[in-house]
Structure 1
């Protein structure tokens, strides 16, 4: 009899423990949901609230998810160092003990997100695709894994948009939305974000009508449910982009005013930089010099602050990855993950961005030969954008550093893809950043550019940018009406003066003269 009593008592305690654990999990996910709500309402409140939950949290998986929320809040604030510190701590699990499959899955997702934040889209894409291959066909995927997989699809859609694989990007964003079945604040926000990202893809494709239809429905919902100011600002900022492309500058400004008002007292600094840039472009197009100067200064000041923080973040990331590389190696050996080579390779690529350098403007004197050379460059530029280049068509200029031929050819092919991607328009591009994106080192990349392009890195990038803007001026007449300062901005230059200097050194004439020549040809 006593044995039976003991048996039933044990069953009772085991059952009670299971119920208590389940109840604790439910309580945690309610708190996590509130934390994510605050992420899109006020990043500072989100950090404080989430840190409070984290302080009393012992479960490693729960800790990872909370730290990821904090990391995202710091990114929204434009504080890259803090974001990386929290995110890399997420990666710094106890490698000497067994960790769950979800922890590995989630840490890979968090790492891919950080790669994307610093502009290493290839590394981010590779890691995300490994996650997708491993988990997309899983039948018994958990609720946590399903939500994280939806985020993975969203991140990879952003990568594919950068690569200009628009149809793939749309397919991925739709897969992300289809996974969001559970009713929660997080899922609602992700669905809204996906709609805005989908509209952004259509804007990139120049399919403005489709983009505006999606944004219209999203904005209607947000206006009725005005509880996520960041998402509202995001939607209206993208609506402003669509209106700008339609040359509806007044409407674009109206959208930007709503976006700005939504977050004016909040530290969403990355979003504010987009809004300030939008204002400056539209006022410039309207020839409102006073308003243009006001917002151009706001944008320039904020951008400078963000760039400085991002560079500090990159340096911090390099130090962390070097310090923790041994821990990664030990963990990867213990877990016998097939992706070990990829993770180590991507860590090595991040180390390659430690030597970030500033772009400089080279100067040459004007002569007639430049105009002829530029004319030939334009022909080659158009051909390269229409066809796939081959290593056979690349002219070898000189040979200094000894590089294996296969490595050389691989870098040349990747440079060809880079030239077609328009990533050279990014003001933050540098030799070290591009080397990281192409998965090589700065010495090899510099040598290949010198050897086959006949230019140093800065000259190579500047020629690509000038050829690109010259191409737009010739093929899209509306660009002939834009101010030179706007042409400088969209082609990736930091100032009007540097753009004008480089333009003249490449083409042999100033931007204004070049535009006049095209107008004369058109009217003649």
Structure 2
């Protein structure tokens, strides 16, 4: 009996030791698991789920949630990725773990950037930067810095600050060998980001060199069937497309589609570029095929982005509520202010886009009128104070009236109306008549007063100049005002908007855009 109990105790002891060793080994392999994400996100999710189910450790659970989040993001499940990141963040608030917390914060910053919330993104990055300074393990610090610099660079790229974006990544050069050894996938992400910056800066040879070097590392690190390969080949496809080497570009793009793991956003770029490549190669059917595929994927991503944005806003709000509950006196006003600012930004963005859409439709209407050789006229508002005043009527002999109308038509076809000193008296003198006759004819035959008549001629004149000669689109509004006879910038702007319902500045912007599309 004693021997039997002894055997049971020994067995239990060995089981505990075995589980502890297994758990310790898997914990130590966290950094390698980051690399596995690029090759097999599904397997990484299974490992993460095992941790969440079996391990009582909060740190292990936070690590598992981070790995699952990165895997879900790669698979295009950004809503679930955000959920996991915030769950990890909540766990880490109760413990002191700078390494994993910094990775989670950088992950949240990336998701916020995807949704255009750059201020929130920068806030997360600022917090991550502070935490990284306290990481003691050199390998962990290198990994955290690599992630941080990638996201900081991505924000600079989104703002078209390419030099700043590249400088940020150069900070990694001292740690590149260590990163390449521990997490080669992370090293390759940084290199591909450098190449993308060079590509965006039209430094095609530099971009091509970096992408080709990435392909060599992919092979040496046995990452040829990873999501990074798809990104690398897409980059080379973009380089060769810009060099008009469409057949070579096609080869890289088609090969990139053979990779098993492709992030949906990357796949969309590949399909879009393939459609363009086949169009250049006169393969219309294939071009249409990939265009259709990209359109379907794009629509799906747009729908996903709406739900992702809702989840992110919801999580941000939940996070704010948790913070308020913990320290209501200190943060209540700040939380309400952040919510209000976000709401104002969203509403401003919405109404600004509505305004732009309305103005652009009005612009298209104006262009169509001009193309149909219709003159633009000021919209007359009923019962407005600036309406044409009724007069007692002035009798004008028929012959005189016809002669004045003929001379008035000749005046309209000239550019005499751009004379800044043009007045009713001067016009009457030029048309060899008197002010009463010319005023009455403008009122009865043009259905407007003298000032409106002259202003409409001037606005039509300057619009025709802008449409006919692109050089005018580079001039200041004050010059355009002077060119068509207005004495001041402000009066020109008021009159221009009253006739076109668009400001001169916005009209120039739309016309530039229209000319660019047409060319």
Which TM bucket (shorter chain)? 0.5 to 0.7
Q: TM-score, normalised by structure 2?
A: 0.62
CA distance in 1, matches of 2:125, 2:95: 23
The alpha carbon displacement at 1:293 in A equals: 0.3
Number of the residue aligned with 1:486: none
Number of the residue aligned with 1:404: none
Match of 1:154 among 140, 150, 163: 150
Which sections of structure 1, spanning at least 5 residues, go unmatched? Answer: 1-16, 383-392, 399-449, 474-502, 504-510, 516-524
The alpha carbon displacement at 1:395 in A equals: 11
Matched, 1:378 2:473: yes
CA distance in 1, matches of 2:282, 2:271: 16
Q: Does the 8 A contact of 2:32 with 2:183 survive in 1?
A: no
Matched, 1:174 2:269: no
CA distance in 2, matches of 1:244, 1:300: 21
The alpha carbon displacement at 1:378 in A equals: 3.4
For the structure 1 residues 72 and 373, does the alpha-carbon distance in structure 2 shift closer, same or farther, using more than 3 Å as the test?
Answer: farther
The alpha carbon displacement at 1:162 in A equals: 1.6
Matched, 1:322 2:317: yes
1:191-242 deviation line (CA, Å, top 9, x unaligned): 1111111010000110101111111111123245443421111100001111
Match of 1:125 among 122, 126, 129: 122
Moved more, 47-56 or 287-296: 47-56
For the structure 1 residues 145 and 306, does the alpha-carbon distance in structure 2 shift closer, same or farther, using more than 3 Å as the test?
Answer: same
CA distance in 1, matches of 2:126, 2:509: 30
Number of the residue aligned with 2:288: 293
Matched, 1:144 2:140: yes
Match of 2:258 among 261, 267, 291: 261
Q: Does the 8 A contact of 2:106 with 2:125 survive in 1?
A: yes
Moved more, 136-145 or 237-246: 136-145
CA distance in 1, matches of 2:173, 2:491: 47
1:62-90 deviation line (CA, Å, top 9, x unaligned): 33332222222222222222222222222
CA distance in 2, matches of 1:236, 1:213: 12
**1:453-468 mapped onto 2 (5 Å cutoff):** 467=512
The alpha carbon displacement at 1:295 in A equals: 0.2
Which sections of structure 2, spanning at least 5 residues, go unmatched? Answer: 1-15, 371-459, 478-488
The structure whose RCO (Cα within 8 Å, separation 6+) is larger is 1
The alpha carbon displacement at 1:257 in A equals: 1.1
For the structure 1 residues 27 and 464, does the alpha-carbon distance in structure 2 shift closer, same or farther, using more than 3 Å as the test?
Answer: farther
Q: Does the 8 A contact of 1:199 with 1:215 survive in 2?
A: yes
Number of the residue aligned with 2:59: 61
Moved more, 82-91 or 251-260: 82-91
Moved more, 371-380 or 147-156: 371-380
Match of 2:106 among 109, 113, 122: 109
Number of the residue aligned with 1:29: 28
Matched, 1:305 2:284: no
Match of 1:91 among 89, 92, 98: 89
Match of 2:235 among 232, 235, 238: 238
CA distance in 1, matches of 2:493, 2:186: 50
Q: Does the 8 A contact of 2:188 with 2:228 survive in 1?
A: yes
Residue aligned with 1:281, SS: helix
Number of the residue aligned with 1:436: none
Residue aligned with 1:58, SS: coil
The alpha carbon displacement at 1:146 in A equals: 3.4
Residue aligned with 1:93, SS: helix
**1:390-405 mapped onto 2 (5 Å cutoff):** none
1:369-425 deviation line (CA, Å, top 9, x unaligned): 55545648831699xxxxxxxxxx999989xxxxxxxxxxxxxxxxxxxxxxxxxxx
Residue aligned with 1:92, SS: helix
The alpha carbon displacement at 1:341 in A equals: 10
CA distance in 1, matches of 2:241, 2:476: 27
Q: Does the 8 A contact of 1:154 with 1:176 survive in 2?
A: no
1:315-371 deviation line (CA, Å, top 9, x unaligned): 12222222331212455789x99xx99998767665567668698673524133555
Which has the greater radius of gyration?
A: 2
Q: Does the 8 A contact of 1:37 with 1:185 survive in 2?
A: no
CA distance in 2, matches of 1:463, 1:61: 57
For the structure 1 residues 321 and 354, does the alpha-carbon distance in structure 2 shift closer, same or farther, using more than 3 Å as the test?
Answer: farther
For the structure 1 residues 83 and 379, does the alpha-carbon distance in structure 2 shift closer, same or farther, using more than 3 Å as the test?
Answer: same
Match of 1:42 among 25, 31, 40: 40
CA distance in 2, matches of 1:123, 1:381: 37
Q: Does the 8 A contact of 1:77 with 1:270 survive in 2?
A: no
CA distance in 2, matches of 1:395, 1:105: 56
The alpha carbon displacement at 1:268 in A equals: 3.0
For the structure 1 residues 212 and 102, does the alpha-carbon distance in structure 2 shift closer, same or farther, using more than 3 Å as the test?
Answer: closer
Matched, 1:80 2:78: yes
Q: Does the 8 A contact of 2:109 with 2:125 survive in 1?
A: yes
Q: Does the 8 A contact of 1:153 with 1:172 survive in 2?
A: yes
Q: Pairwise CA RMSD of aligned residues?
A: 4.2
Number of the residue aligned with 1:191: 187
Q: Does the 8 A contact of 2:103 with 2:128 survive in 1?
A: no
Q: Does the 8 A contact of 1:102 with 1:145 survive in 2?
A: yes
For the structure 1 residues 128 and 281, does the alpha-carbon distance in structure 2 shift closer, same or farther, using more than 3 Å as the test?
Answer: same
